[in-house]
Chains A and B, each alone.
Chain A
Amino acid sequence: AQSVTQPDIHITVSEGASLELRCNYSYGATPYLFWYVQSPGQGLQLLLKYFSGDTLVQGIKGFEAEFKRSQSSFNLRKPSVHWSDAAEYFCAVGVGSSGNQFYFGTGTSLTVIP
């Protein structure tokens, strides 16, 4: 069965420090990969996505993610975290013939301390 694993339930970083959120997936082929962010009381917003091509993808708000096929990973990074980045982050994969079935990780909650 397809699955998405985000091993870190909660991460705390200092403002200005670098950030890496981990995501591993289990799927027979290369799925379509996404990172979403959810601010408190809000819906999810797309940060970035990977379909094919360059394995390092850039997203909004200064985030980037790298797809590593050999590790089945799609880790999210940011060189310098801002207090406004505090939120819940979800990794997701799109599978199926039309990419229309989605599996989300359990999320990583990010706290930013001044």
Chain B
Amino acid sequence: EAQVTQNPRYLITVTGKKLTVTCSQNMNHEYMSWYRQDPGLGLRQIYYSMNVEVTDKGDVPEGYKVSRKEKRNFPLILESPSPNQTSLYFCASSLFGQYTGELFFGEGSRLTVL
């Protein structure tokens, strides 16, 4: 089954404790991206990757890091989480950006930073 898998789905952590949210897709998509969803703000793009070893900042990259060492994986790293990073996070992939297809979303990862 074609899918985007995120882990963990739910996480409660404390300020400053490094964490990684993994994202994996099995569709051989070149393009992957991360979003955060906050009430009243919709989804905002954090980082995106056009292919392996190619990443770029989205609209709200501060406080986040990403890496793309393999085509299927695109982890989101919070080196020193803060309470304002409490949010619902979505990973998405596409065959090649939005020009050729749709974004396939994972089910989301709800992060709480205390």
Which residues of A sit under 8 angstroms from B4, Cβ to Cβ?
43
- Asked if B43 contacts A90 (CB within 8 A), the reply is yes
Q: Is B103 an interface residue (CB 8 A)?
A: yes
- Asked if B97 contacts A43 (CB within 8 A), the reply is no
**Majority DSSP secondary structure for residues of A touching B:** strand
- Asked if B48 contacts A100 (CB within 8 A), the reply is yes
A90 to B102, CA, bound (A): 14
- Asked if A99 contacts B43 (CB within 8 A), the reply is no
Please indicate which of the listed interface residues B35, B59, B97, B98 has the most CB atoms of chain A within 10 Å of its own CB: B98
Query: In the complex, what residue of chain A is closest to B56 when comparing beta carbons?
Result: A100
- Asked if A101 contacts B103 (CB within 8 A), the reply is no
A44 to B42, CA, bound (A): 12
Q: Is A63 an interface residue (CB 8 A)?
A: no
Partner of B99, one of A51, A105, A107: A51
- Asked if B41 contacts A32 (CB within 8 A), the reply is no
Which residues of A sit under 8 angstroms from B85, Cβ to Cβ?
none
- Asked if A100 contacts B31 (CB within 8 A), the reply is yes
Q: Is B67 an interface residue (CB 8 A)?
A: no
Min Cβ gap A59→B in Å is 11
- Which B residues are closer than 8 A to A by beta carbons? 4, 31, 33, 35, 40-45, 48, 50, 56, 58-59, 90, 92, 97-99, 102-103, 105-108
- Which A residues are closer than 8 A to B by beta carbons? 4, 6, 32, 34, 36, 41-46, 49, 51, 90, 92, 94, 98-107
Q: List 19 A-B contacts (CB under 8 A).
A: A4-B42, A32-B99, A34-B98, A41-B107, A42-B107, A43-B90, A43-B106, A43-B107, A44-B90, A49-B98, A90-B42, A94-B98, A94-B99, A99-B97, A99-B99, A100-B56, A102-B33, A102-B98, A102-B103
